[in-house]
Amino acid sequence: MRVNSNRVEDLPYHETTIRIPTEAMPPLEIHRVCLPPKQTTLQKLKHRLGEIFFPDNPLHRFKNQTWFTKLLLGLQFFFPIFQWGPEYNVKLLKSDVISGLTIASLAIPQGISYAKLANLPPIVGLYSSFVPPLIYSVLGSSRHLAVGPVSIASLVMGSMLSEAVSSTEEPILYLKLAFTATCFAGLFQASLGLLRLGFIIDFLSKATLIGFMAGASVIVILQQLKGLLGIVHFTTKMQFFSVMSSIINHRGEWSWQTIVMGVIFLVFLFTTRHISKTKPKLFWVAAAAPLTSVIISTVLVFFLSSKNPHISVIGHLPKGLNPPSSNMLYFNGPFLALAIKTGIITGILSLTEGVAVGRTFAALKNYQVDGNKEMMAIGLMNICGSCSSCYVTTGSFSRSAVNYNAGAKTVVSNIIMAAAVLVTLLFLMPLFFYTPNVILAAIIITAVSGLIDYQAAYRLWKVDKLDFLACMCSFFGVLFISVPLGLAIAVGVSIFKILLHVTRPNTTVLGNIPRTQTFQNLNRYREALRIPSFLILAVEAPIYFANTTYLQERILRWVREEEERIKASNESTLKCIILDMTAVTAIDTSGTDMMFELRKMLDKRSLQLVLANPVGTVMEKLQQSKTLESFGLNGVYLTVGEAVADISSAWKAQP
């Protein structure tokens, strides 16, 4: 069908019609602006859903394959172990054994420490370092992700559950809620992966996470002062002022023996971490330091326990494998909503960390990690974990970095780590009886201090002030209000930033770069020149209902300011406004109505409005809404240069 213009046709190709020489520019070919190929509503819907949910086209490998090959590819798709398993050899095993034992030396003390951070029995941290890595080794697609408890998820779970239930007064109920929250976290994570809704976690922007991690790390460090100072009675609240007042009010409980031991091992742990950072080949120094600290401190306390009973210890830890906990899942009662909320928030945080860490190390080794498969793997890992006395786990950055530096080749390193934890659970638990709590506090402080990335915050300030604002809102919200509310504030600021970009899109005035057909921002390029009688505007965003009013007002303001400028400088009268639509990737019905109204308003002022380079979907919407017909002859052009040349020639041809 031909639209009311001799240059807009429903053709799948561009066709040259006329050549117009002008004095200002070299001769130009004026091209037809074509509508996209016709598609049914079902075809459009199929294409759109495919772009939303399957941008990576995961089923492309199944095309033109036999049924047996498709079955094999299906197994490899859902269980990556079938992909790398047949090619596994002794050389790879050697590397994985070394890396597995290395991360086990880090995972065992961290597991015990992070469980206490979540106000859970220390043994639960070891349980969580045994079953989840085995599940992930079958389902996970990252070769370097080291799975286990992490500090931030532990902190969030501990702070949220402790607001309603005391872990000391009602330990069984608290444990039930922790396992139930883990189950809901896994269900949420697996659902996101199965429904391919991973883009939801993108609302936790990098700026938000930097601030959140830093704020949570400060809270964690302050909380560990309880163990570092030997305080017995300590607040369960996570706010900065509550923690500081508790430290000051209970200064009578401070134990100098505990403080001395804590400071010595803190210096030792920070020194080893500095050595590993400055000399990457000595990564094993920092990796072995926590377990070394546990061993040395345990021996010291064992020999000094009769003389110095002031240092608190972990105490008895039960031997044996993970006991089943499916009977402890809490699906009915007044605290179910709390378990669901805790599960979703910890699920989002752990998922964000796990996927980000996996992709980071995949990029270093030039292989791809499927985000949706990772979500399903982490989700199923937590579902199974909740039924085997585990709490929320994910990929840890510190352990994954050690795993990578130790030369891990596949996820078998997680199996080796789990085997080392198994040996510990079966035979070595009595050895931890005299492990002092102060050493666990020192290990946590050393681990989380690395999450305070002040350099990244400074980069945000230099690059994007709104991102820096989101970062600071997240940081201070976590520090002074609460962990969940701080996170909510940060997400709110991030969403506000998105809305700001959508509702207040950028518009610029373009000028011609001399001796070219290029039109660029006048403020950016000093050599760019205005074209007499033309106002060329670029709209740099989709046109939706949320920004149509703003765009209409802003364009009319540009027109008014241009007329005032022309009047002040006695230049040629403004006759034509060209809208460069190159960056307008979409338009809705409110947008088409706005274009129609804007055209009418400018017509009444004897000003011509033309469009340059609208994309296919925008052209289609304009044509279907009959807005394109209102532009009449010569209303749409392929480029700004062609629009200027064609309209200038038409003016010259007039008597």
State the CATH number of the domain containing residue 573: 3.30.750.24
Assess whether 481 and 523 both reside in one domain.
Answer: no
Confidence of residue 404 (pLDDT cuts 50, 70, 90): confident
CB 410 within 8 A of CB 90: no
571 within a domain of the structure (yes/no)? yes
418 within a domain of the structure (yes/no)? yes
Least confident of 44-48, 259-263, 559-563, 611-615: 44-48
Confidence of residue 4 (pLDDT cuts 50, 70, 90): very low
Mean per-residue pLDDT over the chain, rounded = 86
604 within a domain of the structure (yes/no)? yes
CA distance 402 to 531: 61
Question: Mean pLDDT throughout 247-254?
Answer: 80
CA distance 116 to 151: 10
Question: Mean pLDDT throughout 387-396?
Answer: 94
130 within a domain of the structure (yes/no)? yes
CB 506 within 8 A of CB 541: yes
529 within a domain of the structure (yes/no)? yes
Least confident of 112-116, 204-208, 475-479: 204-208
How much is the pLDDT for 308?
61
The predicted-structure confidence for 150-187, as pLDDT tens digits, reads as follows: 988 998 899 889 888 988 889 999 999 999 999 999 99
Assess whether 493 and 535 both reside in one domain.
Answer: no
More confident residue, 94 or 652: 94
Assess whether 487 and 547 both reside in one domain.
Answer: no
Q: Decide if pLDDT at 24 tops 60.
A: no
CA distance 383 to 355: 17
Assess whether 550 and 467 both reside in one domain.
Answer: no
How much is the pLDDT for 655?
63
Q: Decide if pLDDT at 203 tops 60.
A: yes
The predicted-structure confidence for 119-153, as pLDDT tens digits, reads as follows: 999 999 999 999 999 999 999 889 899 999 998 89
Q: Decide if pLDDT at 643 tops 70.
A: yes
Assess whether 273 and 142 both reside in one domain.
Answer: yes
H or E element in which residue 477 lies: helix 465-480
Question: Mean pLDDT throughout 534-554?
Answer: 94
Assess whether 480 and 609 both reside in one domain.
Answer: no
Buried b vs exposed e over 217-247: b needs ≥16 C-beta within 10 Å? Answer: bbbbbbbbbbbbbbbeebbbbbbbeebeebb
Find the distance separating the first CA and the last CA of the chain, reported in whole Å.
Answer: 34
Q: Decide if pLDDT at 11 tops 70.
A: no
How much is the pLDDT for 12?
42
Question: Mean pLDDT throughout 42-66?
Answer: 77
The predicted-structure confidence for 573-622, as pLDDT tens digits, reads as follows: 999 999 999 999 999 999 999 999 999 999 999 999 999 999 988 998 99
CB atoms closer than 10 angstroms to residue 324: 10
Assess whether 298 and 429 both reside in one domain.
Answer: yes
Q: Decide if pLDDT at 20 tops 50.
A: no
123 within a domain of the structure (yes/no)? yes
How much is the pLDDT for 633?
64
Assess whether 378 and 437 both reside in one domain.
Answer: yes
Assess whether 491 and 543 both reside in one domain.
Answer: no
Assess whether 286 and 227 both reside in one domain.
Answer: yes
584 within a domain of the structure (yes/no)? yes
More confident residue, 497 or 266: 266
Number of domains in the chain: 2
Question: Mean pLDDT throughout 220-245?
Answer: 79
Q: What φ, ψ does residue 128 adopt, rounded to 5°?
A: -75, -10
Q: Record the tokens describing residue 195, joined without a space.
A: 């429904």
Domain housing 363: 90-315+346-448+459-497
Assess whether 466 and 584 both reside in one domain.
Answer: no
What percentage of the chain exceeds 90 in pLDDT? 38
How much is the pLDDT for 232?
73
Confidence of residue 23 (pLDDT cuts 50, 70, 90): very low
Confidence of residue 30 (pLDDT cuts 50, 70, 90): confident
Q: Decide if pLDDT at 19 tops 50.
A: no
Confidence of residue 236 (pLDDT cuts 50, 70, 90): low
Assess whether 471 and 536 both reside in one domain.
Answer: no
Q: Decide if pLDDT at 334 tops 80.
A: yes
> Long-range contact list for 556-560, CB < 8 A, 24+ apart?
556/598, 556/601, 558/507, 558/509, 559/535, 559/602, 559/607
Most confident of the ranges 221-230, 467-476, 582-591: 582-591
60 within a domain of the structure (yes/no)? no
How much is the pLDDT for 359?
84
